[in-house]
Structure 1
Amino acid sequence: MRRNFDEHWFSNDHFFEWLHLVRGTKAIIASVNSVLKSGPLAPMFTLGGRKSRAREVRSTDNQPFMENLRQLLTESVKDPNELRCYQEALDDLAKSFAAVFDTQSIETADVFIWLYQISDEYLNLLRNRTPEALVIFGYFTVITKELEWAWWLQGFSVHLMRAIYNHLDQEHRYWLQWPIQQLGWVF
C-alpha cells in the first residue's frame, strides 16, 4: 500500500511543520532526560546511546558522492558561515549514510537521527529554501528510502525528492543526479 502524499505538502510549509515536530522531540527528551533513562524506557535509551556512539565512529571515507557534493558546495557558496553550516550538515549526513548502509537491521532512529542533530542554522536555510540546503536534503532522501518497508513511509523518499526538485533551478537540479539515480525516480 503506497501512501498518497499531498503534492502541496512541501510548498505549503507542512513539511517544515513536520520538521519542527521532529525537532520538538529533542526539547522534550532533554527536559525529562533523567526520568526517561531511569524509567521503563531505559533499555530503549541505552540501546539508542550505543547506536549513537557506533554511528559516530563509523568510517565515512568511502563516499565519493558526498565528496562530489562537498566540492560543488565549496565552489559555489561564497559566505564562509553558510559553507561551514552546509559542511557540518554533510559531515553528519555522511555518518548517517555509513550507519544505514553498514547495518543489516535499519530502524527509523538510524535515519531520522540526522534531523534530530542538524543545526538550527541549517534548518533556517532549508526553511528559506536555499538551493544548497535543499540539495543536501535531497541526499537525505536516499537513506529515507531504506525505511520504505514501513507502510507509512512508502513513497516518502520520492515525494520529498519531487518537492525538492520542483523548488530548484536547472543548475541545482543537476546536483541531484546521484540521489535521483539511487531512488530510481523517473520524472
Structure 2
Amino acid sequence: MSTRVTIMDVAAEAVRNSGYNGFSLDQIARDVGIQKSSIFYHFSSKTELVAAIFRRYSNDIFAFLDQTTIKEARGGDRLMAYLLESRKLLEEGKSICMSIALNIDQENLHAEIIDDLAVFHETNIKWLIEAFELGMRDGSILEEGDPEEKAHAFLALVDGAQLMARSHKNVAIYDTATALARSRISL
C-alpha cells in the first residue's frame, strides 16, 4: 500500500472517530510512522487531505447506492440496505458517517469541502426519494405520504441514530432508534 493511501486511510478513520477538529497532522504522521513533513509531500494542507478523503468516501457511498439500486428491485429492500450500511459505519459505536463528522465542524471547513458535503447530501436525498417512490408503488413500504418528506426524515433519523450510538459507544441505540423505520418496511 502506498504512503499516500495509508495517510488517507488513517486520516479517514481519525475524521470518522473524532471529527475535523479532533485530529492533527502530527497525530496522523505518528500513526502512519512518518515525519509530518512527509504528509506535505502528498497533501499541501489538512484541508487538501480532508477533501481527498471525503471525495473517496463519497465515491464509495455513491457506488454503494448504485449497486443497491441494481441489486435490490424493491424500494423497501433498498431502504433496509441503507439502514444496514449506515449501521456498519458505526464500527460498534466508535465511528460515524464521515459526512456527519464533517458537518459537525462545518464552520472550520474550506468552501470546497462544504460544497462536497452539499453534493453528498443531495445525492443521498435523491436516492432515498426514489427508494420511497418505488416502495410506495411496489408495496414494500407500509405507509403513504410525500416521498421527499419521508427521505429527509429518514436521513435525519439515520444520522441522529448514528450520533447517539457513537456518543454512547453503543450500536444497540442505533438499532432501537431505527426500529420504527424498519417496521414500516414489508419483507
Q: Which has the higher helix share?
A: 2
Same fold? TM cut 0.5? no
TM range (shorter): 0.3 to 0.5
Q: Using structure 2 for the length normalisation, give the TM-score.
A: 0.34
Q: Whose radius of gyration is greater, 1 or 2? A: 2
Q: Using structure 1 for the length normalisation, give the TM-score.
A: 0.34
